[in-house]
Amino acid sequence: MSTENLDNHPFLKALKEHNVTLKASDTSEIPPDSLISVRNLSKVYTLGDIEVPALNNANFDICKGQIVFIVGPSGSGKTTLLNLIGGIDSCTTGVIYIDGQDITQYSGKKLTRFRKRYLSFVFQFYSLLPTLTALENVELTMELIDVDRKTMRQKARDYLDMVELSSRANNFPSQLSGGERQRVAIARALAKKPSILLVDEPTGQLDQKTGDSIVRLIQQIAKQEGITVILVTHDQELLKYADRVIQLRSGDIISDGVQPYNQENRYA
């Protein structure tokens, strides 16, 4: 890419508008197929007169279709980073560019529209509605994106089949095991056909074998559907399913790369 073309890159234009300065090495590392670009991203929480830094000057790019795991001890900034990318929380400084859009400048309403179009979430505690069946929980997501009601039920069944749970479609969450509930949550997230799937500790309530099968399922479906995944985990045994691992400690990125991750700085 020539210097002239690089100067016209929309991401760099946004950085100039927000007075964010990059080192020369930073500009050369922006891939042309970047879906998510983060620069100088920091988050500081204020508790009374005390400032608590949660994330310090994070810089990275994620390309479409990558499966990226974020690891680190409790309090290292993993969930903070996930929430910033998901537009759930606002940054103190820095820029987040997703598919050519600077989401740090969005209003609350625009962030809602952005999440509706691009993102789906899978949480540790499933977040299923207890009064709806597995099938109805998946259908609910499609109502939010205006899927034709005539085809909604069949599509919901298709997504439950994708996570190998079609036989439990009419069961309520209380009638499902932890692993089955998480599969419903994955089906619900996929029903939006997101570009990006944000996953926060999906195995935290599961045994090792069930957790492994859940993350393997996420990997397989993401590869099949071309979905970009950012997954937060404490479990080092799951890192075999990642294309790339970003390791955090005390709000700092201490390693970022393909497997194997930095064993000397391991988080566990």
CATH number of the domain where residue 197 is located: 3.40.50.300
Between CA 205 and CA 165 the distance in angstroms is 19
Count of domains forming the chain: 1
pLDDT class for 124, splitting at 50, 70, 90?
A: confident
Each residue's pLDDT tens digit, 41-60 = 999 999 889 999 999 999 99
- Whether residue 23 lies inside any domain: the answer is no
- Whether residue 48 lies inside any domain: the answer is no
- Whether residue 46 lies inside any domain: the answer is no
Structural domain span for residue 190? 64-90+105-265
| Strand ranges inside the chain, DSSP E | 34-47, 50-63, 67-71, 93-98, 101-102, 119-122, 196-200, 228-233, 244-249, 252-257
Residues 142, 86, 149, CA angle at the centre, nearest 5°? 5
How confident is the model at residue 58, as a pLDDT? 95
Task: Please name which of 67, 98, 85 lies closest in space to residue 225, comparing C-alpha atoms.
Answer: 67
- Whether residue 30 lies inside any domain: the answer is no
Each residue's pLDDT tens digit, 158-198 = 999 999 899 999 999 999 999 999 999 999 999 888 999 99
- Whether residue 15 lies inside any domain: the answer is no
- Statement: residue 264 has pLDDT above 60: no
Residue scoring higher pLDDT (43 or 19): 43
